Structure 1
Amino acid sequence: MKEVVAKKYVKAVLSDKNLTQLDEFLANLEQISSAFGSDKFKNIISLPTLSTQKKADFLLSLIQNPSQKFVNFINLLATNKRFELLPTIFNELKSQRAAMQNIYLGKIYGSYDLSSDEVVALEDKFSKRFNAKIKLEVVKQEYNGIKVELNDLGVEVSFSVDRLKAQMSEYILKAI
């Protein structure tokens, strides 16, 4: 449900085709979204005794020289009491901005450490395959193998050591 509402806000922001303002807007939104990683910040934003206008002023105080469009956007979120959507709006806006530039963002999941050269090689191979610029982010996770996800393109490629072992065992049993 959050994603659906966030997409409506993103659509409104993208209605203005000025790319330099959009980049500035995205940078401001990134600063605020990163603050949501702090529990103290989340507590302040969800505090019921604090007025929504004071919360909006607090959010705007995190940004140096916000544009009038950004101030209006934060005030609109304050009016509708939708501050919790800011990280979702940021992620969706970042994704839409990348798609406008034919850049797609993806993630590499695995428990292995990948060097920057290996990540660049994967980005190049996927870029050639999809005829677009692919940017990959490494996410360390307990996964016995490597998995590459490109959600915007609907692609998931994985290599699992466990699955390979199971297939080899099955092949050997069939051969016997």
Structure 2
Amino acid sequence: MEELIAKRYATALSSVSKDVKSIASVLNVLSEAISVPEVHEALTSPIVSAEKKTDMILSAIGKEADATMVNFIKILGENKRLDLIPAIAKVLNADLQKESNQYEGVLKSSSELGKEELAKLEKTLETYTGSKIELKQEKTDLEGLRVSVDDLGIEVNFSKQRVKEQLIDFIKKSL
């Protein structure tokens, strides 16, 4: 439900704004600020008035903020939807990625790949999808590799355990 509402706000914001990139970057910064537990608690608290919540967000973006952005924050505040800012930012970022045909993905593995190997993997994904994909590496205890690009719905998993299980199944079937 939250994502659906965020999409509507993001669509409305995109239709009235000429510089969606800068608005998305402001919303990304606000999202980071909202992820701080104290700020999130203040935004979701029934004790703090909607006006104070709106003023808090407006003071965070500064007095030099775009009029469209200020009005957008005020509308969110009036409708008690300031806590949707991270979801709206996520939708706007996804729209910008789709528009530019550039996506971000995550490579999870137990060891870090070299720059050359990472570049080859990105090139292979680019050939497969037709989109430029930038991978960020994360270390996990997973023995193997997992590549995911959420905005494209891609998840590829190569694990030693899975290969081992498939090999055992194949041997069992051949006997």
Please say whether Structure 1 and Structure 2 have the same fold, judged by a TM-score greater than 0.5: yes
2:44 to 43, 46, 56: 46
Pick closer, same or farther for the CA change 1:43–1:116 going to 2, 3 Å: farther
Distance 2:75 2:130 in 1: 38
Distance 1:2 1:141 in 2: 30
The alpha carbon displacement at 1:106 in A equals 2.2
SS at 1:156 equivalent: strand
TM-score by length of 2: 0.88
- The residue that corresponds to 1:131 in the other structure is 130
SS at 2:108 equivalent: strand
The alpha carbon displacement at 1:91 in A equals 1.0
More displaced stretch, 31-40 vs 130-139? 130-139
Structure 1 ranges of 4+ moved more than 4 A = none
| Aligned residue-pair number | 174
More displaced stretch, 137-146 vs 68-77? 137-146
Pick closer, same or farther for the CA change 1:111–1:76 going to 2, 3 Å: farther
The alpha carbon displacement at 1:11 in A equals 0.8
Distance 1:118 1:41 in 2: 41
The alpha carbon displacement at 1:172 in A equals 3.1
The answer to whether structure 1 residue 6 and structure 2 residue 2 are counterparts is no
**Stretches of structure 2 lacking an aligned partner (at least 5 in a row):** none
The answer to whether structure 1 residue 91 and structure 2 residue 63 are counterparts is no
Distance 1:60 1:23 in 2: 19
Q: C-alpha root-mean-square deviation of aligned residues, in Å?
A: 1.9
SS at 1:143 equivalent: coil
**Stretches of structure 1 lacking an aligned partner (at least 5 in a row):** none
SS at 1:66 equivalent: coil
